[in-house]
Amino acid sequence: MRGWKALTVPLALLLLGAAPPPAHAGTPAIKVENGATQPVFSRADAITQTVYVEVAGVDSDADGRADRVAVDIMRPKETEQGLKVPVIMEASPYYAPLNNIPNHNVDIDEENQDAAGLIARNRADLLDSIGATRAVAFDGYYDNYFVPRGYAIALVENVGSGRATGCPTTGDRNETLGPKAAIDWLNGRARGFDADGEPVRATWSTGAVGMIGVSYNGTLPNAVASTGVPGLKTIVPIAAISSWYDYYRANGGVLAPGGFQGEDADVLARTVLTRADGQQACGALMDRIEADQDRVTGDYSRFWDARNYLNDVRKVRASVFLVHGLNDWNVKTKHAAQWWDALAERGVPRKIWLTQGAHTNPFSFRTEEWLRQLHSWFDHWLHGVRNGIMREPQADVEYAAGQWGRHASWPLPGTRPVTIPLKPARAAESFVDQKTRTAEQLAADPDAADPNRLAYATPVLRRDVRLSGTPTIKVRAALDGGRSPYLTALLVDYGTDVRATGALRTTGQQYCYGESVPGDIGCLITREHVTVEAPFKIVSRGWLDVRNRHRPDRTDPVRPGRAHDFRWDFQAQDHIFKAGHRIGVVLLSTDRDYTLRYPAGTRVTVWPGKSTVTLPVTGRF
């Protein structure tokens, strides 16, 4: 394995100490003071241009011509006078207005088709709230803050969307190669054209690129980094996917992203198919995606393997500043944890923020500290400034609303697995599956009998217990009657407390972060976490299709009434179970908001004395 220390900062920059290479006499230069680039360039006078970059070797719409992506660029005007700057890039399929596409029916073999015509929760509303869309180019914070400090901003409208050509494929390789081509163009390795078809070169670019984004816009940095493309120095994936199978499936079962029950890869592809003549150019491919995704078995397949960036983590050469919300049930925390762990195994330079947010960007609720660290991160990796950012604690974890801890690594140092039985009793217990009650309803009051779930809880905790990492569960169970193949486990914190929900609300306070220009004042109204007092909280969930008890790519029928030891994972978490609370595990089958909903009636028999949960905890338990 190549040593990462040799790759952290270019040698020429190390020899110069804390500043980028000096410019020739009379050439504008970056200004660095106190270990930070200074805002000496004008956002108001910045140059904007659009370049159409050819994605060589990719013709996803089969029109006989290479696909192209549209790249909107803003750079200091001094780049016309010899100044060379690095690029902060966001790539997205979300810049053009999205299509409203119906989700799939999730009620299986029922006359009640209440989900058949369900329109996806307005994805545009969610994306607007996290800053993943653009009403106009450069309406985010990157340009106001970073252009004056000597950066260019590049917004890449990816294949199949808006002004680009080609077809969207929900994470397949052609989508990865779109932003990669833009990086190649910035390094002189790809062709770019203006609107009139004239060739354009990026003579102003240093070739150093950092990718950033939230949601799909954060997933594309993971994807592009997995190609090992030269020039990509760092990525900042926020609420990002690391494997699309784990976005739409879980351990062999069809699963929805939170808030989008019934959505799947084909729905998302059709949603972002916003290019001209999209249906005519890409309709057949959309139908093929719908067939290949397989909503019947839910098995892992070549379709999903092509969308698994973990396969190529060995190629990652960019540093990674990973950000994820601990209350994100859209892009679930498994994506962050498994990507983080894979990067750690490779020794990739990295940093992590885990927030109490949901599917969101920390820019709006920890604004000042976010800008400080992000600025230092980009200065270090793109300008070569030796500012100490890599000597700061690796992990920032928000353990309660507005309360942060900084740690040497994550999971927290000293974390160890603790395995406990669900219940000492040997007698079997059972419940009958249903599909109308939510997990939250079923988790309430663990001491009361309930025909539709089983609940187990520890004695009252004598001290705080810190969970840090990915819990797992082993359940001896038998399924009989009915058709639901799911086992769902909930990890629950029982104890009345005020907790963050993941939602945000405005504070009414304005924070100004960058240069004001007409139509963009360079300020935002900050937000804060919504908290509620409640007797319990579902801390994590895990799902298994029992037909995939051996492996996710193979369906093996279960003999009715036969007991098996089923093992599966929860979503990763970092959570403090407070003294006086109890740690609970609730078992059910159908999880109404996430799984397919089969006809009610499956009886699940559990042997709790032979079933265990394993928790990664710090300190004494």
Largest CA distance in the chain: 84
DSSP 8-state class, residue 558: P
Q: Which helix (H) or strand (E) holds 353?
A: strand 350-355
Q: Counting beta carbons within 10 angstroms of the beta carbon of residue 534, is it exposed (0 to 12), middle (13 to 18) or buried (19 or more)? A: middle
Nearest by Cα to 317 from 6, 90, 89: 6
Residues making up the chain, counted from first to last: 621
The answer to whether residue 468 is catalytic is: no
Please identify which residue in the block is written with the tokens 């559990």.
606
- Active site residue: 215, 242, 468, 589, which one? 215
Which of 324, 335, 359, 407 is flagged as catalytic? 359
Query: Which of 264, 328, 493, 574 is labelled catalytic?
Result: 328
CA distance 503 to 129: 11
User: Residues 294-318, buried b or exposed e (16+ Cβ, 10 A)?
Assistant: bbebbbbbebbeebbbbeebeebbb
Instruction: Let me know: does 173 contact 306? Beta carbons within 8 Å.
Output: yes
24 noted as active-site residue: no
**Rounded-to-integer distance, Cα 208 and Cα 205, Å:** 8
Single-letter amino acid, residue 279? Q
For 614, counting Cβ atoms within 10 Å of its Cβ (0-12 exposed, 13-18 middle, 19+ buried), the class is middle
Residue among 198, 154, 214 at smallest CA distance from 180: 154
Q: Which residues contact 19 (CB under 8 A, 6 or more apart)?
A: 30, 32, 385
User: Has 550 been annotated as catalytic?
Assistant: no
414 touches 618 (CB < 8 A): yes
Residues 6 or more apart whose Cβ sits within 8 Å of residue 253: 298, 485, 486, 543, 544, 545, 548, 595, 596
Q: What share of the chain is helix, strand, coil (3-state, %, to 5)?
A: 25, 30, 45
Peptide bond into 411 cis (omega under 30): yes
- Read off φ and ψ for residue 428, nearest 5 degrees: -75, 150
Give me 161's structure tokens.
Answer: 């969307």
Beta bridge partners of 454: 587
Nearest C-alpha neighbor of 149 from the set 377, 391, 392, 389? 377
The set of catalytic residues is 215, 328, 359
